Amino acid sequence: MKFISTRGGEKVTGAQAIVQGLAKNGGLFVPEKFPTVTEEEIRAMEDMSYPERAAFILGKYLADELGGDYLKEVCEKAYSSFEGNDPVPLVKVDGESGLYVLELFHGPTCAFKDMALTVLPYLLKKSCEVTGVKDEILILAATSGDTGKAALEGFRDVEGTKVAVFYPDEGVAKMQRLQMTIQDGDNVFVSAVEGNFDDCQRAVKNMFASEEFNAELAAKGVRLSSANSINFGRLAPQIAYYFSAYVDLINSRQIEMGDKIDFVVPTGNFGDILAGWYAKKMGLPVRKLVCASNKNKVLADFFKDGVYDVKREFHRTMSPSMDILVSSNLERLLFEISGRNSRLTAQRMKALAEKKEYSITEEEKAKLDEEFYGGFASEDDTIEAMYEIFDEFGYAMDTHTGVALWVYLQYKEMCWKKDKKDKTPIIVLSTANPYKFPQDVLYALSGNDVKDSFKGIKRLNLLTAMKPPKCLLDLRYRTPRFKTKVKNDLKQMTDAIMRFVDGEIVPVPVDKK
């Protein structure tokens, strides 16, 4: 299968798209044509394990190049690192109204980024082989908190790779920072950057675009690649869980083949929800995709008015992984709703960079309305939703999922207003383990305010009787290895990377356990 750039001009293979990450003209790679999944194929997934289902969906895009058996093998390996016997459990929270939660946080770093970042290193390795790339691969990522840790863990000590992560100094939760700064491995680098996530993401994009920096790396036999959701190799494994959740509903006799369902997705960079839309394009019976934003509600406004406007204040919230104003992956959706008009997509991205805003046509807006619903939750709304669901159903969730739950409640009310008998099942995607944000979750569920994260974990455990994950408990006894902080400046950031590549930044050795 071939991939094309949303901004035109380039056509590459899947393996090239994965190795390169971003198209040369700054566009994102999208499949030349969407593969389809038939009803028979969905039925065939009923008897498959999760890794088999994931390999099947990945295969639709990549099997011709990477090999179906290889994909099966890597999905088995990747998802065996998840806790519990089902890597992606679908939990029925309220059978009456048809509310389900798809838990995507049972991976090694306790957030949904593991769904793709446990698989990506294998995809990349094979893609390098297939394309004959012999350079060392340097994974460079900007993170709003969870991607960084998942990328570090996924690529830790993977031969032929190095991984460098920049996180916004003012923008990640305490547990997230600790998870990254204690990272072990001999091929890893972590640094804080002054500013918020948008600044950080822009700076990293500029590093990718800098010819000088790339040439300097090339001279050392090093090539950049991306672990952010702009990389198609990140997006593809995320499509699988939408299919898998649907199949689980069939298997448990909640729906029949062909019934439509809704998904509610807590959204930041628009990667997770875009994967859901790709699933729909491939043939999954989806009614609506509900896009849930926090107080940084650029996307909710976009779905309401058809105007994407980032000229606004940036808010720090208790769902930091969604504190984003420029959602990179929206470009892929814009490309599609414009009728795959790459010139127009490039123009809009230029307008976004220069004028901080663009708008879509009435016709495009009407297309979006058919498939999406956008909503948002304030901090108080988020707490309210988390409390309500815990109080009524005993289900505890993290703050990002809390945002989605509030928007779910709004959306459900709207559905009921239209049709009192509407029983369409709604699946809310849960993106992080509640123990990753223990103080905020404890506060939302009990009003209890504690100063220390580990005390928060203990209290939350007493309150919910949920088992805290070992990887978070272990953090308590670790000392940070990385203390670097740089200015948000291309030169400072590229200098730091060059020193890392040259082996001049030597992190504090891993603690003796």
Ligand X SMILES: *Cc1c(COP(=O)(O)O)cnc(C)c1O
Binding residues (CB under 6 A) for ligand X: these are 111-113, 146, 229, 266-272, 321-322, 400, 431-432
Q: Which two tokens stand for residue 79?
A: 């998802």
HSE-up (13 A, CA, CB side) for residue 344: 14
The candidate with the shortest Cα–Cα distance to 343, out of 330, 334, 356, 354, is 334
Burial of 399: CB neighbours in 10 Å, binned 0-12, 13-18, 19+:
buried
The candidate with the shortest Cα–Cα distance to 58, out of 40, 74, 46, is 74
Q: Closer to ligand X at the Cβ: 228 or 342?
A: 228
Identify the active-site residue in 60, 72, 113, 295: 113
The rounded distance, in Å, linking the Cα atoms of 252 and 256 is 10
Q: Tell me the C-alpha to C-alpha distance, in Å, between residue 498 and each of 502, 506, 510.
A: 6, 13, 22
Contact 385, 409 (CB under 8 A): yes
The candidate with the shortest Cα–Cα distance to 482, out of 241, 220, 235, 177, is 177
| Annotated catalytic residue 113 | yes
Q: Which two tokens stand for residue 140?
A: 């460079």
The rounded distance, in Å, linking the Cα atoms of 23 and 9 is 9
Q: Tell me the C-alpha to C-alpha distance, in Å, between residue 275 and each of 115, 116, 383, 505.
A: 12, 11, 27, 37
The rounded distance, in Å, linking the Cα atoms of 290 and 308 is 17
The rounded distance, in Å, linking the Cα atoms of 395 and 188 is 37
Work out how close the CB of 197 gets to ligand X at its nearest, in angstroms, rounded to a whole number. Answer: 10
The rounded distance, in Å, linking the Cα atoms of 140 and 163 is 6
For the annotated catalytic residues, the residue numbers are 113
